[in-house]
A and B are shown apart, each in its own frame.
Chain A
Amino acid sequence: MAASAKRRRGWRKRLGALARFTGALVIVGGLYSAFAPSLYAQEADDNAVDSEVVKGQELYDTSCITCHGDNGEGVDGRGPSLIGIGSAAVEFQVNTGRMPLANQGAMAIPGDPVFTEEEAEWLGAYIEHLGGGGAVPDDLDALVENADVGSGNDLYRVNCSSCHGYAGGGAALSSGAEAPALGGTTDEELYQAMLTGPQNMPVFADNELTPEQKADVIAYVQYIVNDDADRGGVFNLGRFGPSTEGLAIFLVGISALLLATLWIAGKS
């Protein structure tokens, strides 16, 4: 009994130390993040692009260097080289929370982003600075505005539906990898993903799909996934097709009718 009480006290001490340490870290971090951006903001007036690169490098050296190596050269067995992948790829990976990687697995799993969109831009600028690559065009909104949804539909079915599904629901790939569902994605994310081919997704660079064609695809995806409500009912059963429809006929249809038979043939 005595021994275990002592051990518990030891734990408490250690926990307390940990809490104090964490508190200190939060305060320091908070102060840093409160003041640091304002310091950089003054510099940015001089040379906006270069300072973004510098800020990006700073973030890179703290958060990415372990896996992707010095100057984005990559580390064998940990992370690929980032030279030449461009800012669009970086922003896609960071803004969707895929990077920094939570743990090494079959796939980078999207989640809550660790960096702000601004920080992601800096990181993107840094990687772009290392070796070029692709970037989202500035007039993407205008492109999507004028896009042809019908042509986007044709392109989507030939190039995208095999993995992301007719209704944009995503799919399981081999050995635990998966193609994500497209619901709730922004135009920029869709564009970045096509342009850069994150993880297992093939690249659809501008020589395969022109920016206009990408905009068509984006317009189509947004149309079916986000803009247009389902016409066939209050619930769309996840648009999974026959598998959830089969589940529904048993869970709703057959169950309701079984209850009805019990009532009809029950004693009254």
Chain B
Amino acid sequence: MSAHNENQPGEPDLNDPKLSRFEVYREGLRRDGIEIIHYEPRFGRPGTGAEKRMERIVGGMFLGAGLFATLFVAAYIFWPWEYEGAATLSDPETWYTPILGITLGLSLLLFAFGVLTWAKKLLPVEELVQDRHDGGSARDDRRIAESTVDTVADDMGLKRRPFLVKAALLGAAPLGLAAVAPLGGLIKDPGDMLTVTGWNAERYNDGNPVRLMLKDGAMVRPDMVSVGGQITVFPAIEAGASNEYPTAPALLIHLREQDAATLRENLYPMYQDVDALWGNFVAYSKICTHVGCPASLYEQQSQRLLCPCHQSQFNVVDNAAPIFGPATRHLPMLPLDVEDGYFIATSDFLVPPGPAYWNRPSLPEEDEQ
């Protein structure tokens, strides 16, 4: 290698003892296709006042970084941090996280600006230009590579032995399939998970109608909701208020007399058939028919239900049909009755609650609007 290099014209003899370090260095640049356009020390003469001042600034930043890092570690160890009930800004523990963040941040920033100032203010001023060598390889290299690949293919006989190639492909395809097949363990039949909720008496309550309960387990009586009030109700079954029955929660609303009258006028036939209201009480699924957030912002004056996620608005006195926003279906009504003084659901929701999916059964009442 070195012998070959020495023969090139315009190249310094690297064995020449008179060659300075910089000249050797520049030979390296030349070999990498780099040319120096501009290169001079930042300070004309070393050791001037300006240079010393800059050194002091950079050094100060490093030391400051160390100081703040020490403060960080000290605060981490000694500053009170445990949560001991409500505390105001005059209690030290509320400042633990801010102090850690600020000391760590300042330490990092000071060190950073130390390094950056070093690079910007103390390194030589330089501008170099390097050949880009853009584009593909040299012709020779390309030709050699092609021949190499062809030789390898030929050695293996890829062209002469088409049967082997086909057989390998035919064998590899099922092997690839076998590699991903175990992911099939993830597949689960959705069954009726989207249609049956916790209100289904046959499935979850031995055929007895499911009562309505509050989150704390108290059964709901009509006198528990005053006019203009609403409460969230769950099926009174084991774990009925938990996430095991995510589509079950419903909103039980006690309407004013005239609002209830309006609703009775507007009631879809399917709800008339099952007599879904009880007195002036109505229960709507709390799960938005858009994408499933609880649509539970009940406005008792304007009689709207608003979903906070995408602002769908439902008209409480018209079967909770959507009147604004992206939702397209009404919130299913839970058919109510009262038995032994407690609310019961006479059946599950008549249409599946929650977001729509491709084979969600549509009832004529919904298609009409």
A contact set with B: CB distance below 8 Å:
154, 158-159, 162-163, 171, 173-175, 177, 179, 197, 199-205, 207-208, 223, 227-234, 263-264, 268
Per DSSP, chain A at the interface is: loop
| A34–B324 CA distance with the chains assembled, in angstroms | 53
Q: Chain B 294-309 against A: per-residue CB contact (8 Å), 1 yes, 0 no?
A: 1011111110101010
Min distance, Cβ B227 to any Cβ of chain A, angstroms: 7
Contact of B297 among A179, A207, A229, A230 (CB under 8 A): A179
B296 touches A162 (CB 8 A): yes
Which of B87, B120, B308, B311 contacts A228, CB < 8 Å?
B87
| Chain A residues with CB below 8 A from B98, complex form | 233-234
Residues of B contacting A228 in the complex (Cβ-Cβ under 8 angstroms)? 85-87
How far is A211 from B93 in the complex, measured between Cα atoms in Å? 34
Find B94's partner among A159, A174, A229 (CB 8 Å cutoff).
Answer: A229
CB A261 to nearest CB in B, in angstroms, measures: 11
Contacts of A179 in B (CB 8 A): 297
- CB pair B302 A174 closer than 8 Å: yes
B230 on interface, CB distance cutoff 8 Å = yes
Asked whether any CB of chain A lies closer than 8 Å to the CB of B226, the reply is yes
Q: How large is the interface on B (under 10, 10 to 19, 20 to 34, 35 or more residues)?
A: 35 or more
Say whether B225 contacts A231, CB under 8 Å.
Answer: no
Q: How far is the CB of A206 from chain B (nearest CB, A)?
A: 8
A201 touching B300 by the CB < 8 A rule?
yes
Complex alpha-carbon distance, A173 and B228, angstroms: 17
Q: Is the CB of A202 within 8 A of B86?
A: no
Contact in complex: B302, A229 (CB < 8 Å):
no
Interchain Cβ contacts under 8 Å between A and B, 9 examples: A158-B232, A162-B294, A173-B304, A174-B304, A174-B313, A203-B229, A207-B224, A228-B86, A233-B98
Q: Does B89 count as interface, using CB distance less than 8 angstroms? A: yes
Having A158-B232, A200-B300, one finds 13 other A-B pairs with CB under 8 Å, namely A154-B215, A158-B215, A162-B294, A173-B304, A174-B306, A197-B300, A207-B225, A208-B226, A229-B91, A231-B83, A231-B94, A232-B97, A264-B116
Instruction: Tell me the complex Cα distance, A223–B96, Å.
Output: 20
**A159-B231, A177-B299, A229-B87 given; A205·B94 CB < 8 A:** no
Q: Are B304 and A208 in contact (CB under 8 A)?
A: no
Asked whether A205 lies within 8 Å of B229 as measured between CB atoms, the reply is yes
In angstroms, Cα B199 to Cα A62, docked, is 54
Say whether B308 contacts A202, CB under 8 Å: no
Shortest CB distance B317–A (Å): 14
Q: Which residues of B contact A231 (CB under 8 A)?
A: 83, 93-94, 96-97
How far, in angstroms, from A154 to B297 measured CA to CA in the complex?
17
User: Of residues 65 to 98 in B, which have CB atoms within 8 Å of A's CB atoms?
Assistant: 83, 85-89, 91, 93-94, 96-98
**Does residue B121 face the partner (Cβ distance < 8 Å to A)?**
yes
| B33 within 8 Å of A (CB atoms) | no
- Distance A204 CA – B296 CA, assembled complex (angstroms): 15
Known contacts A162-B297, A228-B87, A268-B121; decide if A207 and B97 are in contact (CB<8 Å): no
Q: Which of A159, A203, A233 contacts B101 (CB 8 A)?
A: A233
* Selected contact of B301 from candidates A163, A200, A230, A268, CB within 8 Å: A200
Tell me the B126-153 residues at the A interface (CB within 8 Å).
Answer: none
Q: Taking CB as reference atom, which chain B residue is nearest A209?
A: B231
Determine how close the nearest CB of chain B comes to the CB of A10; give it in whole angstroms. 47
Name, among B98, B215, B297, B324, the residue most crowded by chain A CB atoms within 10 Å (CB to CB): B297
Nearest Cβ on chain A to B263's Cβ, whole angstroms:
16
Q: How far is the CB of B283 from chain A (nearest CB, A)?
A: 14
A204 to B228 alpha-carbon distance, docked (Å): 9
CB distance from B97 to the nearest CB of A (A): 6
Q: In the complex, which residues of chain B have a beta carbon less than 8 angstroms from the beta carbon of A229?
A: 87-89, 91, 94
Let me know if A199 and B87 touch, CB within 8 A.
no
Q: Assess whether A223 is in contact with B86, with CB atoms less than 8 Å apart.
A: yes
Chain A residues in 8 Å Cβ range of B306? 173-174
B121 surroundings in chain A (CB, below 8 A)? 268
Q: Which residue of A158, A202, A205, A268 is within 8 Å of B300 (Cβ)?
A: A202
A231 to B297, CA, bound (A): 29
Min CB gap B216→A, angstroms: 8
Could you tell me the distance between the alpha carbons of A263 and B302 in the complex, rounded to whole angstroms?
56
Question: Is B223 interfacial (CB 8 A cutoff)?
Answer: yes
- Among residues of A, the one whose C-beta sits closest to the C-beta of B234 is A158
Partner of B302, one of A162, A177, A268: A177
Within 8 Å CB of A233, what residues of B? Answer: 97-98, 101
A154 neighbours in B (Cβ, 8 Å): 215-216
Query: Do A227 and B229 touch (CB < 8 A)?
Result: no
Could you say which residues of chain B place their CB within 8 Å of the CB of A232?
97
Shortest C-beta distance, B110 to chain A (Å), equals: 13
